[in-house]
Structure 1
Amino acid sequence: MSLNSLSRRRWMQSAGASAVIAATGSMPRRTFAADPLPNVHEIGSRRELFVDEALIETRDDVDLVMHRPRDEGQVLAFDKPWEGGFSAYATVIRDGDRLRLYYRGLGVAGQDGNRAETTCYAESTDGIEWTKPNLGLFEVQGTRENNVVLADAAPVTHNFCPMLDTREGVPAEERFKALGGTVKSGLIAWVSADGTRWRKLREQPVIPSDQVAYPHFFDSQNLAFWSQAEQQYVCYFRVFQDKIRRIARAVSDDFVQWSAPVLMGYRHRGGEAPIEHLYTNQTHPYFRAPHLYVSIAARFMPGRQVLTDEQAQAIHVNPRYFKDTSDAILMTSRPGSDVYDRTFLSSFVRPGIGAHNWVSRTNYPALNVVQTGPTEMSMYLNQDYAQPTAHLRRYSMRLDGFASAQADYHGGELVTKPLAFSGSQLALNFATSAAGGIRVEIQDASGTPIPGFTLAESREQIGNEIQRVVSWKSGPDVSPLAGRPVRLRFVMKDADLYAFQFRDGFTR
């Protein structure tokens, strides 16, 4: 679902940064375990997405369906002499009305953490057209006319991963933070005021190697962010467990002292999920619902060779990098949890048509999903790894459109667990066919319909909107029910329900 350039430009001009990061409601400090009322989920005014079963009590002929992003084409070629086929580990950061992109520059394969690795930078106002500014900060391959923000800093430039620190009161000179390093160095912290000029936070690693009780670790993109939900910094990094690439999690109050890492587990709809090699995890708070951590991870299939020697030679891939395959998968997690929900085991982004998509370490997602239009968000993938055509590619989705609760033409219904909300209106992100629709009933905690909000009194919602206020015969006001344990019953036909949210101030 791509927007034309005129509507996108008008959105950028009229909305600015305030519309890019939508209001997400308040979140209590570090409340992960028991809710104040037994068996009642306190959602307040949070936006809730149908990416897992966390709030679902029953589903009758309604499926949770993953929606694959749409390929929007190449947006950035790694074609500079200091970039090349081994450019990798990209991070995209929304900073007001600007998008910042960071990635490793490397033209020739070498040992992890070698001196040839640099950190490169590009920027964009719309997420489609990207520029590489001549920053003049470092001399690389005989010139300062380059887009390099960090060089001569091995081994951190192997996997340098920045973040925009949104913690209240963060010093201006530490507005940006980053982690980088290998098993030999540990994870070293860097800070920056402007996102381009970086300095070490301290000489010693903030997560030393002797703090990690695994045989091998850090040899991939290791990320951190300030969690609004947890009110602390959270780091997800790569480890090996039983010779399989896994993910560990640690937390910190100050970005310097970190907890002992905990290995992340995986579940699939109530049971255990398969343990697969996940090369990068790309876990981040979803910008429209920061209590939901979205992970678009790189799934690595070692030894799963697709190309013949002749096909590999034809695309000029490095001969060491076509004996494996990889794709992108979707996982989610919640604040304080040491488990990922792999609600959908299938690939989120499949490799594309052509031999160049079926080589080792290609199709690796960049960190962070960002808004790129009034109804659109985008993710980015490294593609054509170890090839002369290496580049970054954009994929688009509707806002909140990772997955949906879906009913077909014959209809179905979904009932939530008991919820307690704040606000005066209920809004849906949904789509129906011309023949389809959604009706909403509000029940008490025992499942009894509440007068005034019964299914018979519900006005059918038909259409395709990011934000539609639900109404009943008496109108849309649900404030008399705020704070009370209630259930939502969605009766659907030929429809997708992506998200719902209680809050004030919505208009149709």
Structure 2
Amino acid sequence: MTRSLFICYLSFIVLGIPLASGEAKDSTAVYIADRRELFVDQYLVQALEGEARQILHHPVPREVVLVSDRPWEGNGLNYVTVFQDGDLYKMYYRGGDYDRGVTSLHEQVYCLAISKDGIKWERPNLGLVKFGGSKENNILLTEKDEALGYICHNFSPFLDLNPDAPESERYKAVGGGPLFPLISADGIHWKKATDKPIITEGAFDSQNLAFWDSIRGQYRAYHRQFRSGRDIMTETSEVFSSGWSKPVFLEYSPGRGGELYTNQITPYKRAPHIFLGFPTRYEDRGLNPSTRHLPQWKYRQLRSKISRREGTAVTEGLFMSSRDGAHFHVFQEAFVRPGLRTRDSWFYGDNYQNNGLVETKSTLAEDAPNELSMYLTEATLQNGKPAKLRRYSLRMDGFVSINAPMKGGKLISKPIRFSGSKLSLNFSSSARGGIRVGFADPEGKPLAGYSLNDCPWIYGDSLTRRVEWIKSDKIVDNVGSIAGQPVKLVFELKDADLYSFKFD
């Protein structure tokens, strides 16, 4: 079997695309196997009844983890990448300092910070690059290196999960404009994989990125281009350093939601068949009466003198998702708003989310399960002040939920086929509310022993709550007898949120 045929076959099996032969009678049912399913789109939703609705959740701002106050850093902190590598968390971030957001006051550099928990970070003394006459710093790359140059404006590394990647190329990156491929054995010492750029069509003054897609067995990249404003293109390749497909613009539903500056798209680790994106929305409403009431009107005017958008444009975070990497469901409301602050906020350059999601210990309590962490810029491009990076946290799978108030509502899924014998939920409810789960045939007829009425109300707060039914006065949780059959899931909710479900 050729590699391309294998990838095609893998897509059929993993993504639920009906096979050309066998099981034709179930071709209308989505085969989800035992993968985790989130409600970040309408892919599995046939109907929402009563007061049930799909709602976007928002990450909670936590502590400031980095202040860019070293001489080689400055107010240009941005284009940050964070990932976990073994027992360490690694953060790659840009150092730069600018007058009113435009004029560079020293060369751009890329720096490394490390952490054991994703919360407390330190700068290792790398001794690689001289700045101000000393190599006592955490600089990895400098634009003074003629071989790198503009790569130090938008360097974007990743840990290559391709099982065929050699140890000498375990770390990879893209950067520059056009985009060049870089490789490293240790994530510290970098070199170009080739002297030829791999992606040439685009407007690369942004954080562009690439990664290994383990589900589809290929590298995928995303970069900026203009189409009625700032937009995103994507391309793929089986080999990182060459052979990239012609870039195509992303498609959006119900719409793009504004101009998109960065994209921050990544396969979600707990459900890698789903791509999650955290783009920066760029919004410039010009000079209007409200602009005068945003923080720091005098400084805003000062920035506008060198470039009007520096005083009028505002950036904030969005959330979107995709099942194929090209078509994205975009929530039109902000995922991260600029926030309730009276200075150093509501400016262009703030609220850029890092590339990458990491799992960290709960902020709530020692006995609480781990949560997701992301890192956003704030107080950037303020003359004479360092920028900051703040950690935000979110419940596992907690981007979007199906929610209903106490009045109640139902979610009815499209026909699915699953593997496994147990069903677990990631959910939260009040003490008075809860969730019930039932199975029905494709026509909607409840399955005996697995109907809503057979399911006792589930209440509490859990990432892995096993669903149970009462059959002949016994509590049962085994659904193996209906595995592989086309069925519908019916969720009834009261004052509850359902984030994801999984068979195993």
TM-score (norm 2): 0.87
Pair 1:48 & 2:37 matched: yes
Letter matched to residue 206 of structure 2: S
Instruction: Report Cα offsets for 1:37-62 as digits up to 9, x if no partner.
Output: 42211111111111111100010121
Q: Secondary structure at the match of 1:355?
A: coil
Partner of 2:444: 447
Output the CA distance in 1 between the equivalents of 2:179 and 2:106. 17
Q: Secondary structure at the match of 2:439?
A: strand
Go from structure 1 to structure 2 and tell me whether the alpha carbon gap of 1:143 and 1:497 turns closer, same or farther (over 3 Å shift): same
Pair 1:276 & 2:273 matched: no
Instruction: Report Cα offsets for 1:379-415 as digits up to 9, x if no partner.
Output: 1101111021311111111111001000100111111
Contact 2:295–2:342 (CA under 8 A) maintained in structure 1: no
Q: Secondary structure at the match of 1:456?
A: helix
Partner of 1:364: 352
Q: Secondary structure at the match of 1:380?
A: strand
- Unaligned segments of structure 1, at least 5 residues: 1-25, 504-508
Go from structure 1 to structure 2 and tell me whether the alpha carbon gap of 1:42 and 1:445 turns closer, same or farther (over 3 Å shift): same
Letter matched to residue 226 of structure 2: F
Contact 2:360–2:371 (CA under 8 A) maintained in structure 1: yes
Partner of 1:20: none
Partner of 2:54: 64
Go from structure 1 to structure 2 and tell me whether the alpha carbon gap of 1:316 and 1:386 turns closer, same or farther (over 3 Å shift): farther
Output the CA distance in 2 between the equivalents of 1:40 and 1:90. 41
Q: Secondary structure at the match of 1:202?
A: coil
Partner of 1:221: 207
Q: Secondary structure at the match of 2:481?
A: helix
Instruction: Report Cα offsets for 1:311-342 as digits up to 9, x if no partner.
Output: 2556998565332111101111112x422101
Contact 1:357–1:383 (CA under 8 A) maintained in structure 2: yes
Partner of 2:365: none
Query: Which residues of 2 match residues 324-473 of structure 1 at below 5 A?
Result: 324-335=313-324, 337-342=325-330, 344-352=331-339, 353-373=341-361, 374-387=369-382, 388-473=385-470
Letter matched to residue 11 of structure 2: R
How far 1:479 moved relative to its partner? 1.1
Partner of 2:189: 197
The more displaced of 92-101 and 251-260 is: 92-101
How far 1:73 moved relative to its partner? 2.5
Q: Secondary structure at the match of 1:177?
A: strand
- Unaligned segments of structure 2, at least 5 residues: 1-6, 20-25, 362-368
Query: Which residues of 2 match residues 291-306 of structure 1 at below 5 A?
Result: 291-304=273-286, 306=291
Contact 1:327–1:364 (CA under 8 A) maintained in structure 2: yes
CA RMSD of aligned residues (A): 2.3
Query: Which residues of 2 match residues 127-142 of structure 1 at below 5 A?
Result: 127-142=118-133
Q: Secondary structure at the match of 1:173?
A: helix
Letter matched to residue 297 of structure 1: P
Output the CA distance in 1 between the equivalents of 2:128 and 2:174. 20
How far 1:450 moved relative to its partner? 1.4
Contact 1:113–1:155 (CA under 8 A) maintained in structure 2: no
How far 1:309 moved relative to its partner? 10
Contact 1:86–1:108 (CA under 8 A) maintained in structure 2: yes
How far 1:249 moved relative to its partner? 0.5
Output the CA distance in 2 between the equivalents of 1:114 and 1:80. 14
Pair 1:160 & 2:160 matched: no
Output the CA distance in 2 between the equivalents of 1:54 and 1:163. 29
Partner of 1:238: 224
Partner of 2:238: 253
Go from structure 1 to structure 2 and tell me whether the alpha carbon gap of 1:357 and 1:341 turns closer, same or farther (over 3 Å shift): same
Contact 2:407–2:494 (CA under 8 A) maintained in structure 1: yes
Partner of 1:35: 18
Q: Secondary structure at the match of 1:30?
A: helix
Output the CA distance in 2 between the equivalents of 1:415 and 1:431. 19
Contact 2:257–2:332 (CA under 8 A) maintained in structure 1: no
Output the CA distance in 1 between the equivalents of 2:274 and 2:326. 13
Output the CA distance in 2 between the equivalents of 1:457 and 1:383. 51
Partner of 2:109: 118
Partner of 1:311: 296
Output the CA distance in 1 between the equivalents of 2:179 and 2:61. 34
Letter matched to residue 52 of structure 2: V
How many percent of aligned residue pairs carry the same amino acid?
A: 39
Output the CA distance in 2 between the equivalents of 1:316 and 1:132. 35
Output the CA distance in 2 between the equivalents of 1:229 and 1:113. 42
Q: Secondary structure at the match of 1:332?
A: strand
Go from structure 1 to structure 2 and tell me whether the alpha carbon gap of 1:400 and 1:98 turns closer, same or farther (over 3 Å shift): same
Output the CA distance in 1 between the equivalents of 2:28 and 2:36. 19
Contact 1:332–1:340 (CA under 8 A) maintained in structure 2: yes
Letter matched to residue 273 of structure 2: H
Go from structure 1 to structure 2 and tell me whether the alpha carbon gap of 1:449 and 1:122 turns closer, same or farther (over 3 Å shift): same
Contact 1:417–1:487 (CA under 8 A) maintained in structure 2: yes
How far 1:372 moved relative to its partner? 0.7
Output the CA distance in 2 between the equivalents of 1:303 and 1:143. 44
How far 1:188 moved relative to its partner? 0.4
Letter matched to residue 51 of structure 1: V
Output the CA distance in 2 between the equivalents of 1:477 and 1:227. 33
Contact 1:40–1:485 (CA under 8 A) maintained in structure 2: yes
Q: Secondary structure at the match of 2:448?
A: coil
Pair 1:484 & 2:485 matched: yes
Partner of 1:180: 175
Q: Secondary structure at the match of 1:322?
A: helix
Output the CA distance in 1 between the equivalents of 2:92 and 2:301. 26
Contact 2:97–2:104 (CA under 8 A) maintained in structure 1: no
How far 1:302 moved relative to its partner? 2.4
